[in-house]
Amino acid sequence: MNRRPQIFWIFALTLALAACSDDTTGQVGADGCPLGQSRSESGQCVNKPGTNNGTNNGTNNGTNNGTNNGTNNGTNNGTNNGTNNGTNNGTDAGNEDVAAPCVNLECQQVTCEAGQGSTRISGTVTIPSGTLPLPGVHVYVPNAPLAPVIDGASCDRCDEMLSGLPLVRTTTDVRGEFVLENVPVGEDIPLVVQVGKWRRQIVIPSVTACADNPIGDDTLTRLPRNKLEGELPRIALTTGGADALECLLLKIGIDRSEFTTEAGDGRVNFYAARNGSDRFEPALNAGARFTAARNWWDELENLKNYDIVLHSCEGSQDLGNKSQAARQALQDYADLGGRVFLSHWHNAWLEEGTPDFKSVATWRRTSDGRSPGHIDTSFEKGMTLADWLVEVGGSTDHGRLNLTAIKHTLRGINPSLAQRWISLNEDDDNTIQYFSFNTPVGAPDTQQCGRVVFSDIHVSSGDSSNDRPFPTGCTSQGLSAQEKALVFMLFDLSSCIVPDCTRTSCAAQQTECGTIPDGCGGSLDCGECCIEKDQGCHAGSTCCDSLVCMDGTCQEARCRVLGESCEANGDCCSGGCARGAGQPRGVCIQG
């Protein structure tokens, strides 16, 4: 019996059924959108969750349940709004161009029509008080839950500090402003602002597609004032009789509830150093007394519980209360990723510190300096500081600011290890007022974890903490120019460690010889330049190509005739070179 006709009809019927099964190409629903899509509040057709609305020219029309039989030859002729807003659970054998399925908020990103621009969120980030905008802050939409911020010294890389798998991100400009592009559309969109271990997450109630969605209330995007609003770094502050850094922390907006002893749960803990405040007022923490700094800073274990350590000037170096163990502990803390700020006489930790810390700068005792200060704008962060101070009213003359309570204990820095920020005389290392360096000292940039900032200024000298319970000594209003500069550096101190500047090279500057600036306050030796023909030379000079130094200029090589100057007998065409005793040159004479 001939079975071929039966086989033919069975095969044809199978093809017909396959063609009719689930192909929805070209069909639209009641809302005018292709099947598998729905119309959003903005009027855009967007994919329904779990659906890929492209036409896949095979048997993968939407949800691929596991069989594609290699018939999808890399062509997807459908429209996929956003990033493949569906789920393909099959094996797309034969189709190497199929996009990976979207995840979480990624599925709510949309593609806008030409001329509309992308979906945007814009706003301004400020310090906790809301009084100053802040540049260099990361702003992003997370695509997963945020990981907890871990307290203490740690060697964090910049990308590692941003948890939650950022979907889109940007950083604030010199005005603290940001525009975040291609954000997800819909309700309750999370937004994170973060610099170092300062972090706050808010929720945007609704984001409209293909439009700007400004955050009109800047209080939502200021950095957190307390633990209820977000994460703050854990800070240890030692008080001192000559400066009042604790008052600056109040001014930047940290809530009083966050100031406690180490026994409390506040994010800022006080320790009493020489002549500084040693207790709270009765209305705050029941007037608790501060632990003595001289006992606390001897142990690395005590320091490394904190992200930042701030030392207010005590009025003297007070070396008797800074043991060798304490000096080593401070370096070890910074090497682990700790951040340190030193005010004036806390130069003791550097001048009389470990060999590594001693190598960063040299010191002297001179009369106090005078204003104004000059900002080093030769590196990117210095230029940003100068720009920012103009924006916030800390400077009326770009690159200059008024300083008070100026001291002068610094002779100079090692520019290969440290970065000058502010000096009294422009481009003068002998009058530096602010400098910083990353740690471990001298390690490659990729291996540096911590940071130290030194100020030769009493930053908050307008307040007094001498034997007065905190915060009764904090009486000044507003922020001075030098306090604004320190606010900038305090948040820079908190941020992830990157080189302050990138050193250039002779090749990058297309320089073959001579000495050129290295872009970081130092210089590069690009080798000795050869001297061109007819240019002046002297004994030992290098003349270009085959030229030789003859009679004070570089000339084509030739023997000297009678009467010409010479240095050796071989210089003369005949005879010899006659010269007096002790004379470098002579004249050719007949032999």
Cα 346 from Cα 337, distance rounded (Å): 20
pLDDT score for 41: 54
Tokens standing for 226?
């307390």
Burial of 368 (C-beta count, 10 Å sphere; 0-12/13-18/19+): exposed
DSSP reduced 3-state for 84: coil
| Cis check: omega of the bond before 205, within 30 degrees of 0 | no
Cα 180 from Cα 298, distance rounded (Å): 46
In the block, residue with structure tokens 């992200």: 307
Percent with pLDDT over 70 in the chain: 80
Indicate left, alpha or beta for 186 from its phi (over 0: left) and psi (-120 to 50: alpha).
left
pLDDT greater than 90 at residue 6: no
pTM of the predicted model as reported, rounded to 2 decimal places: 0.72
Residue 577 phi/psi, 5-degree rounding, is -105, 115
* 336 band by pLDDT with thresholds 50, 70 and 90: very high
In this structure, the chain runs to a length of 591
Instruction: Indicate the residue type of 586.
Output: G
pLDDT greater than 50 at residue 459: yes
pLDDT score for 10: 45
Burial of 525 (C-beta count, 10 Å sphere; 0-12/13-18/19+): exposed
pLDDT greater than 70 at residue 475: yes
Q: Where are the alpha helices (DSSP H) in 441-580?
A: 481-494
Give residue-wise pLDDT tens across range 228-281: 999 999 999 999 988 899 999 999 999 999 999 999 999 999 999 998 999 999
Cα 519 from Cα 412, distance rounded (Å): 18
Mean pLDDT of 301-317: 96
Most confident of 120-124, 480-484, 529-533: 120-124
pLDDT score for 14: 46
In the block, residue with structure tokens 């150093």: 273
pLDDT score for 465: 59
Mean pLDDT, the chain, whole residue set: 84
Cα 85 from Cα 110, distance rounded (Å): 9
DSSP 2-64: --HHHHHHHHHHHHHHHHHSS--TT-B-TTSSBTTEEE-TTS-EEEPTT---S--SSS-SS--
Pairing of β 212-214 and β 186-195:
unpaired
Mean pLDDT of 392-402: 95
Give residue-wise pLDDT tens across range 186-198: 999 999 999 999 9
* 458 band by pLDDT with thresholds 50, 70 and 90: confident
- DSSP-assigned beta bridge partners for residue 565: 587
Mean pLDDT of 523-527: 78
Residue 347: closest CA among 332, 330, 333, 335: 330
Give residue-wise pLDDT tens across range 12-22: 444 444 444 44
Indicate left, alpha or beta for 283 from its phi (over 0: left) and psi (-120 to 50: alpha).
alpha
DSSP reduced 3-state for 284: coil
pLDDT score for 46: 59
pLDDT score for 507: 82
Q: Tell me the C-alpha to C-alpha distance, in Å, between residue 373 and each of 107, 379, 414, 459.
A: 52, 17, 20, 13
Residues 6+ apart with CB under 8 A from 388: 135, 174, 394, 488
Residue 150: closest CA among 275, 307, 328: 307
pLDDT greater than 60 at residue 407: yes
Tokens standing for 326?
């304490």
Give residue-wise pLDDT tens across range 527-551: 878 888 888 887 667 888 778 887 7
- On whether the CB atoms of residues 394 and 481 are closer than 8 A, the answer is yes
pLDDT greater than 60 at residue 54: no
pLDDT score for 108: 98
* 504 band by pLDDT with thresholds 50, 70 and 90: confident
Cα 508 from Cα 523, distance rounded (Å): 14
- On whether the CB atoms of residues 411 and 430 are closer than 8 A, the answer is yes
pLDDT score for 48: 58
Percent with pLDDT over 90 in the chain: 56
pLDDT greater than 50 at residue 389: yes
